[in-house]
Amino acid sequence: MKLWKQTLIALISVCSLSTAQAAPQELDRVAVIVNKGVILQSDIDAALKTVRANAASNGQNLPSNDVLREQVTEKLITDTIQQQEAERIGVRIDDAQLNSAINDIAQKNNQSLDQLKASISAEGLSYTEFREQIRNEIAASEARNALVRRRINILPAEVDNMASLLAQESDSTVQYKIGHIQLRVNEGDDKSAIEAQAQKLVDQLNQGADFNNLAYTYSKGPKAMQGGDWGWMRKEEMPTIFADQIQMQNKGTIIGPFRSGVGFHILKIEDVKGLETVAVTEVNARHILIKPTVILSDDGAKKELNDFIDQIKSGKATFAELAHQYSQDPGSAAQDGELGYQTPDLYVPEFKHQVETLPVGQISEPFKTVHGWHIVEVLDRREVDRTDSALKNKAYRILFSRKFNEEASAWIQELRASAYVEVVKDDEDDS
């Protein structure tokens, strides 16, 4: 879930509209000046009303009226500053994005859209005002995300260290079935020749050679007569030279050759128990993109692509030739339309659907995405182990979340400190 969604849900759970604006009151006034904007007294009163209503429905205790008013006012000030930042950097939230966010709010509260509207109305708020307040909340959140991200720097070494810690946590219960080949180096032996022999064995194993047979034939290790089979072990039970080499690899992985004091070693992970692996399907596809213009309509772009399909099927031209000549995606056009092996999740939904469902070698009907009109052909699919990548992605997300929260807090404090804020005293306050 995106960060702005989490922010909205936290703020608006059970219709907790903590910053919603009430309908204009007859005796409204400016309560706070924030840079070139203002917070009205009606804004503060509406927020107080909502906080109190939510506290009552949830059985929560609130601080004194003075403290509560101060907290609500400060929240509105920081919200206003963030919304001003959104305007400054040109964040615009269209109606489609806004409608999606409001539907998410309704679902979170186990309500239909009509029920959500009724809840809003029951709190004395108009749906129009509610929509605009949510639009402002999303814009402020996206501005915060964009500007705070620039402050975050995550080094590869940090990711590796965190991934290592995560791997250690997982490794405590994982068992590996290990095969081992050891080529001994005695005094006076040609070490480079033995290392070359070890590399040759690894090459044979990667080409499908039987590990047990090679172990019987070449290994001088303690399990040579068992075909190099060490059986099932946790890392803590392995010889140190084995444990140091095993870093969450999957079944079938060949490791080595690596050197120890007695010679060169090759390991094979015959099987794994207790390791959560991540396998993904990668798709190699190629496409032709035609973008509609003021001159070329959607129907025209679709017709042009259908003509390409006819040329390909009749043998008048190849997909590669047409992609190279006509596709308006410069990066793939230079590669005859090929996109290379990618996971479908990287593509926009309509394109993702095509590459996931098309049989290999079949050309799609023309379809439209935000980029324009396409035809696509799936050239190949393959299964790829991404356990290590998934672990590093998880490590990155943990580090990013930690640093984002730290930097977001610092960013807001800096904005607040540099903003011009004046609380406008009412005449009654001075009496």
In a domain, 430, yes or no: no
Q: Are residues 162 and 191 in the same domain?
A: no
Alpha-carbon distance of 9 to 162, in angstroms, equals 29
Burial of 79 (0-12, 13-18, 19+ CB in 10 A): buried
- Whether residue 27 is found in the same domain as residue 82: yes
Check whether residue 146 and residue 169 sit in a common domain: no
CATH of the domain at 370: 3.10.50.40
DSSP 363: B
Domain with 160 in it: 153-173+387-421
116 and 158, same domain (yes or no): no
Q: Which residue among 238, 273, 308 closes a domain?
A: 273
Helices then strands, counting H and E runs in the chain, come out as 16, 11
In a domain, 68, yes or no: yes
Rounded distance, CA 95 to CA 105, Å? 15
Same domain? 311 vs 252:
no
Count, residues in the chain: 431
The answer to whether 69 and 31 have CB atoms below 8 angstroms apart is: no
Domain boundary among 226, 250, 273: 273
Q: Are 138 and 10 members of one domain? A: yes
Query: Whose CA is closest to 48, among 29, 78, 76?
Result: 76
Beta carbons of 142 and 4 less than 8 angstroms apart: yes
Residues 133 and 165 placed together within one structural domain of the fold: no
Q: How far apart are CA 162 and CA 156, in angstroms?
A: 10
Whether 363 maps to a domain, the answer reads yes
Q: Is residue 426 part of a domain?
A: no
Q: Are residues 201 and 259 in the same domain?
A: yes
Global pTM reads 0.47
d(CA 235, CA 250): 14
**How is residue 227 written in tokens?**
């075909």
* Sequence-separated (6 or more) residues with CB below 8 Å from residue 133: 17, 19, 20, 21
Give me the sheet containing 263-273, strands edge to edge: 229-233, 175-184, 263-273, 254-259
CATH number, position 78: 1.10.4030.10
Whether 189 is in a domain gets the answer yes
Instruction: Say which DSSP state 221 is in.
Output: S
Residues 99, 210 within the same domain:
no
Is the residue at 236 inside a domain?
yes
Q: Are 116 and 106 in contact (CB under 8 A)?
A: yes
Flag whether 19 is in a domain. yes
Are the beta carbons of 309 and 315 closer than 8 angstroms?
no
Domains held by the chain: number: 4
pLDDT tens, per residue, the chain with 431 residues: 333 333 343 433 333 333 344 444 456 899 999 999 999 998 888 888 878 877 777 788 888 888 999 998 998 999 899 989 988 988 888 888 899 999 998 898 888 999 988 888 887 778 888 888 888 888 888 888 889 988 999 999 998 888 888 777 666 678 899 999 999 998 888 999 999 999 999 999 999 999 999 999 999 998 999 999 999 988 888 888 998 898 767 788 999 999 998 899 999 999 988 766 667 789 999 999 999 998 999 999 999 999 999 999 999 999 999 999 999 999 999 999 999 999 898 898 899 999 999 999 999 999 999 899 999 999 999 887 666 777 788 888 889 988 988 898 899 999 999 999 999 887 655 44
Q: Are both 248 and 295 inside the same structural domain?
A: no
Q: Is residue 411 part of a domain?
A: yes
Domain boundary among 273, 292, 318: 273
My answer on whether 141 and 158 are in the same domain is no
Distance CA 219, CA 229 (A): 11
Angstrom distances, CA of residue 181 to CA of 51, 57, 102, 203: 69, 69, 61, 14
Same domain as 203, residue 111: no
- Residue whose entry in the numeric block shows the structure tokens 């996109």: 339
